[in-house]
Structure 1
Amino acid sequence: MLPDWVVGNRYGSQYWNFIKSKFPTYKERRNFIYSEFSPIFDYIEKSGIYPISESFEELLKVCNSPNLEIVWRKCIERRIHDPEGAITSARTLLESTCIYILEMLNEIPDKSGDLQRLYKQLAKSMNLAPDMYHEQVFKQILSGCGTVVDGLAGLRNKLGDAHGQETKQVKPSKRHAELAVNLSGTLCSFLISTYEEKYRNK
């Protein structure tokens, strides 16, 4: 997929000799570079490749939960062209994961709609609450997980599309959506992995 001229002109001096002999003006050179790299950009944007995609999708296969797969796919599909929707889906993914695991543990999930309360219920059930540990490093990490939950809930309320918005509402960008999706996916991956390793066959 990488253009042949890039492979053959790896150094600045090589590239300059190539491009100046091919096109006399900077405008032509810019247009050429854009057209040559557009297929690569399109592939990256449409492929769904994400830092945690492969490992998380493998976990979803183990879970065999169509609902989680649908929500994760929405996160991936919306992250570029619909940041608000991606942020809302990221929050939904975390909520759905908590509910899924609690149900697998034969517990009744909190129905209040409060994500923080739901996560605390799950953390207690899976021995992931910070106050259950004496080692400072574990307390810090697990407290950080709780902070991520709080942040996702707040981000969705502020920048997601689940509520009506003010006229001058700040619009989230792609980077905000990527942050929300990555945080949610990473935490959900940890929660599902913990369940599979410690509780699945008990």
Structure 2
Amino acid sequence: MGEIFSDHYTHADIDRLFAYADAPEANPGGNKVQKTVDWLRLTNKQSLSPLDVLGLLLENILENPGWDPSSGDNWMRVEEPEWSINLKDQQERIKKVLSRSGLSYSVGGNIGTANATPTASLDELVSQRGLSAVEVEMKRALKQVEDDPNAAAQYAGNVLEATFKAYLSKKKIAYNENGDTLNDLWRLTRDDLGINPKDLETKDLKKIASGLGSVVDGTMYLRNKRSGAHGRTEAEHTASAIRPRHARLVIHSAHTLAAYVLECLDDS
């Protein structure tokens, strides 16, 4: 990051960026590379949420689309400019380092341990389609995994709900905006996709289709019965608490199903 920040930013830019990310206020000084490295170390030691700071520091670089040949005067240019090639190389370097540390970046400046392949795939599909409602729930789920696993499970259910509604809306299939449960929305989506278990002939496909229904049913149960959405006594809250690994299981399962549903829109 020190090298990359030195290429991208002036000293003043780096100062403003660390301030924007709520890093410790003490500016360590030095050249751009050393200042970035030392400020990151201070952040890791002093910040209550160093990964939140890191995500905001990386947001501008990792979400920069690079050269767009269709915009402005670029349509006459055949070769991608060097700055854009360098940017993409730097983006890949950052993502590889995060991956080696068991971390990953998701849209909106979020760094988390839950962003595995299903989430990355869903993130890409959501970005391509501009599905802001799904994106909001994804961010909420990923940010809560470690600090509030129950809330993360709740938001994973919200991801499925937003996905099903997006699918049904685009296919012009009527549903009750406020009255339909997650299972109701899934049944409408499932039937349109042609994966209702009772309509499938092979035993293997029936099991898989039934399993998808179980993911929806289990996610809805966690969201409604074990999430922070309902008031509880301290004893009830402790008894219903789930661990981060359970929240990750819910998120991965929900995101895999959501990605499948959105991919099916391409085939329709």
What TM-score do you get using the length of structure 2 for normalisation? 0.55
For the residues of structure 2 that align with 1:96 and 1:150, how far apart are their CA atoms?
16
Q: Is the 8 A contact 1:126 1:195 kept in 2?
A: no
Q: Distance in 1 between matches of 2:214 and 2:229?
A: 21
The corresponding residue for 2:262 is 192
Instruction: Give the CA deviation at 1:42.
Output: 8.3
**Structure-1 separation of matches of 2:214 and 2:102:** 34
Name the residue aligned to 1:125. 192
Question: What secondary structure sits across from 1:47 in the alignment?
Answer: strand
- Residue 145 of structure 2: aligned partner: 79
Distance 2:171 2:262 in 1: 12
- Count residues in correspondence: 163
Higher alpha-carbon deviation: 54-63 or 91-100: 54-63
User: Is the Cα–Cα contact under 8 Å of residues 68 and 96 in structure 1 kept in the other structure?
Assistant: yes
Contact 2:119 2:256 in 1 (8 A): no
Q: Distance in 2 between matches of 1:121 and 1:151?
A: 18
Taking every aligned residue pair, what percent have the same amino acid on both sides?
A: 23
CA distance in 2, matches of 1:47, 1:168: 32
Higher relative contact order (CA 8 A, sep 6+): 1
SS at match of 1:165: coil
Gap change, CA 1:134 and 1:68, over 3 Å in 2: same
SS in structure 1 of the partner of residue 235 of structure 2: coil
Could you tell me which of 251, 256, 265 is aligned with 1:181? 251
Q: Alpha carbons of 1:161 and 1:42: their partners in 2 closer, same or farther (altered >3 Å)?
A: farther
Query: The residue matched to 1:180 in structure 2 has which SS?
Result: helix
The equivalences for 1:100-179 within 5 A come to 100-111=166-177, 112-169=179-236, 170=239, 171-179=241-249
Any conservation in 2 of the 1:110–1:121 contact (CA below 8 Å)? no
1:64 corresponds to: 130
Deviates most, 111-120 or 144-153: 111-120
Q: Tell me the distance in 1 between the aligned counterparts of 2:168 and 2:247.
A: 27
Q: Is the 8 A contact 2:146 2:244 kept in 1?
A: yes
The DSSP-based 3-state class of the residue aligned with 1:168 is: helix
Distance in 1 (alpha carbons) for counterparts of 2:149 and 2:101: 18
Segments ≥4 residues shifted beyond 4 Å = 38-43
1: CA distance, partners of 2:211 / 2:119: 22
